[in-house]
Amino acid sequence: MHGDDDGNVRSGSTVLPKSKSTEILHVDDDLGFADLVSTFLERERDAFRVRTETDPRDVLDALDEEGSTIDCVVSDYDMPGLDGLELLARVRDARPDLPFILFTGKGSEEIASEAITAGVTDYLQKAGGTEQYGVLANRVQNAVEGYWAERYMNRGLEAIETARDGISILGDDGRIEYANTAYAEILGYDRDALVGRHWEMLYEDEDVEHVYDVVLPEARGGGWRGTTSFVRADGETVEVEHALSYTDDDSLICTLTASGATAPSGSTAAAKLRAMDEAPIGITLADPEQEDNPIVYANDEFTALTGYERPEVLGRNCRFLQGEGTDDEQVAALREAIDDREPVAVELRNYRKDGTEFWNRVRVAPMFDADGDLDLFVGFQDDVTERKRYEQRLESSSARLEALFEHSPDMFAVHDIDGTIRDVNRRLCEELGYAESELLGRKVWEIDPTADPDRASSFWETLPPNTPYRFETEFERKDGSAFPIEVHLIRLDLDGEDRFVAMDRDVSDQKRRERALVQQNERLDRFTSVVSHDLRSPLRVAEGNLELLSEECESDRVDVIGDALARMDALIEDLLAFAQAGEAAMDLEAVSVPDLARSSWESLPTENATLAVETGRTVEADRDQLRQLVSNLLQNAVAHGGPDVTVTVGDTDGGFYVADDGAGLPESNRADVFEAGFTTAPDGTGFGLGIVSEIVDRHGWAITATNGPDGGARFEIATE
């Protein structure tokens, strides 16, 4: 279900019993704010019942109480003793499917990403004003509705899965979309083999027309019921009681009840012959009693593989596919096995009727009758041309790889699946202080002290071939000192041997820089936590109580207080944005400046202002940070240019500009506009252009503030 724009749930959409209340457990260490949330949520929905906990460690006890009927947990993030994500993990252990909504003042992409990864049902950042409580109420309603709907659906699916009758659902194209276990067992198939198959394959050919002409029209007209003979997977038939009906979305519901024993539909030999005719590989049968073992049977796939018609194949020995490039040693091995009546597998360069060559994987096995006498030779042919071409390309690149391996500035090691080092390059020996002979034959964990032999072996066994994998670990030198490395590992077939090639790079300098950055970010995080949580919570309490106060009395001072609170909220938002502008890692991509400008404009209160986009430029940038930059410049133009201002986003020789036709920048202030806290507007925060400057610096760009030729402020961003 979905909520309407006003936050109310559409009538008639609920799956909950009308008499059931929605029990909400709200967790927030700020009691004043928690009481405010409870008040507004219960005002938003008559069925809501909110219980408040200020200590997150008491939540599990509340869920475990006898008779507990909690339908949803709403939790803050930044709480003493246990944060919101840690609480989520404990709730998931106790109640895996219970809706859990993170309602937090500490909003960031990192927190949102962690929450989603941890399995949070929904994520909502606390905002100014009381509209947020309507949004929160709608999120809770949606989550609880989905929770109960899934419970009902799972019960229904469990009933279908355990039913003794066979049940299937067919799409409007006649293919099976779902089949329960009983349906597959009645027809003798694995369930996966049925899904995606057309219903026609379950009938004798002569019965298909009757189904189209009689059965399906009756089913569409209100339902059909009768007895049907189906062809099982083993070629035999089974009679069942059969019912069909259509749903509103044109799906066909099929129900089977086994009513009789199976009856043969032809000899076992005929069934086997039919299976060989339809096999996806080439199959031939050769008669050892006749001279030169001629082919007496060839299936359709063999004729498709070779280009010969069946009459051109029968009576000939398979040698007719060989030619100038066929390997004599492989042919001799095939001939010897046939003479010895032993199974054999070889790969031969064969030739089609049109002369084109292909690589043929040939497997031949003798077939003996009940008395132990040789009856036939069966041959299987697979086209392995693409695999052989890949192997040849790999072989030709081996020489180049060998040169890169030995002379690379990076460390290289090659080991087998049990961890034994088989080859190393000169750089690895120099870095570790060993001679090559001292490293060969050692185990990987002898130079990587962090590696666990059992876990490493398990990882290597499951690593797919030809797929690079990156991770970090440590190497230990001969003198006992250790250093961090970045490993790029790939599993390859080298000369028929399963090998693991590791390219290792010393990342000591990088780790030092990362540690310094982490320390810096931790300090910044502590600062933003204070601003986000410790300042926002009392602000939200003040806003909510102000609204409640306005309902109880009338005073001009209410609006004055509201304006002051809104000013404080805006100041906190800009301060956080300024503090965090350099915190997140950038994800560069091609971003359309005009598209970003239009979408940012739509989210601004522009009154009678006008946007003119005169650029088609695309730049390499972090999309979220560029959106913040453009939005701040547009908002600055609207705030200082007047209610009827026209804002233009256009091209420069090496970037783009944002300009307005307002009064422009005073000459005395142009050098100060990017300073944090500087503003000429009575209600401005002074951080908007400071954030712009920070984002420009992070991208390695340049920005200038000037006035346009016709007046008005103009900000030029050089991106090249």
**Domains, in order of start, for the chain:** 22-160 (3.40.50.2300), 164-386 (3.30.450.20), 412-583 (3.30.450.20), 585-718 (3.30.565.10)
Q: Are 696 and 702 in contact (CB under 8 A)?
A: yes
- Other beta carbons within 10 angstroms of residue 549's beta carbon come to 14
Q: Are 271 and 227 in contact (CB under 8 A)?
A: no
Q: What residues does 27 pair with on adjacent strands?
A: 53, 75
Three-state DSSP state, 74: strand
Q: What residues does 500 pair with on adjacent strands?
A: 415, 491
Instruction: Identify the pLDDT of residue 11.
Output: 33
* CA 216 to centroid of chain Cα atoms: 40
Q: Are 661 and 646 in contact (CB under 8 A)?
A: yes
Pairing of strands 702-707, 713-718: antiparallel
Instruction: Identify the pLDDT of residue 570.
Output: 67
Rounded CA gap, 253 and 220, in Å? 11
**Degrees to nearest 5, angle at CA 235 with 229 and 236:** 50
Rounded CA gap, 176 and 199, in Å? 7
- CA 142, 145, 147, 152 torsion: positive or negative? negative
pLDDT in tens, 251-290: 788 888 765 433 334 334 444 555 566 667 788 888 888 8
Average pLDDT per run of 10 along the chain, which is 720 residues long? 37 44 90 89 90 90 84 89 89 89 76 80 82 89 80 54 74 85 88 88 90 88 84 88 78 73 40 61 86 88 92 90 92 91 90 94 83 84 86 70 76 93 92 94 93 91 91 93 93 86 89 77 64 69 84 83 75 63 68 92 83 94 88 87 89 93 76 60 60 86 88 90
- Other beta carbons within 10 angstroms of residue 199's beta carbon come to 18
Instruction: Identify the pLDDT of residue 432.
Output: 94
pLDDT in tens, 626-684: 988 998 899 888 888 877 899 999 999 999 999 999 888 877 666 667 765 445 555 54
Q: Compute φ and ψ for 90, nearest 5 degrees.
A: -70, -40
Closest CA relative to residue 200, chosen from 190, 185, 186, 210: 210
Task: Give 403's contacts (C-beta < 8 A, 6+ positions apart).
Answer: none
Closest CA relative to residue 253, chosen from 176, 327, 319, 169: 169
Instruction: Identify the pLDDT of residue 280.
Output: 72
